[in-house]
Structure 1
């Protein structure tokens, strides 16, 4: 009787005998999902980095590139770097050379 119990215990041990054979397929699916999530998060972060201007601030949408030329000119005028006549002349040149004009 002891031999029969030992044989039965050995024959029915392991994940296949216990009814968890389907769990074997979950391991690769789990790792595929983890790697996919990592790739998604890295690409999303990289996209956000370039949309904000990249390394030198020259890429991305206009609102993410920094100050516009007119606001930079207004700041220089406010600081006193340029006088009113030079400010108005440069502002006129900027507005004349707009692509939407």
Structure 2
């Protein structure tokens, strides 16, 4: 004969089980949402600075006095003319 008297879950037991299930599903949903966001976010590398453009390099060289204005304009024109073609 089995005695089931006073071995059931009381009021606090039901509360603890309900709170546990809510926390469990909240954790599962949070992990899924964070995973989806991580997979859909664009790849950004904030620790590596962007490489300067050729125009910016020329501007810096002109500002430092490494080249004069004539040389700057000549090289800037060559950059904007496009790639060199060989005959």
TM-score, normalisation: structure 2? 0.54
In 2, Cα distance between the equivalents of 1:46 and 1:95? 31
After TM superposition, give the deviation of residue 11 of structure 1 in Å.
3.2
Q: Counterparts in 2 of 1:16-95, with a 5 A limit?
A: 18=14, 25-40=21-36, 42-43=38-39, 47-49=43-45, 55=48, 57=49, 65-95=50-80
Which stretch of structure 1 is more off in the superposition, 36-45 or 89-98?
36-45
> CA 1:77 to 1:22, structure 2 compared with 1: closer, same or farther past 3 Å?
same
Which stretch of structure 1 is more off in the superposition, 26-35 or 73-82?
26-35
Equivalent pairs, count? 79
In 2, Cα distance between the equivalents of 1:79 and 1:19? 72
After TM superposition, give the deviation of residue 31 of structure 1 in Å.
2.3
After TM superposition, give the deviation of residue 82 of structure 1 in Å.
1.2
> CA 1:12 to 1:33, structure 2 compared with 1: closer, same or farther past 3 Å?
closer
Unpaired runs of 5+ in structure 1?
1-6, 58-64
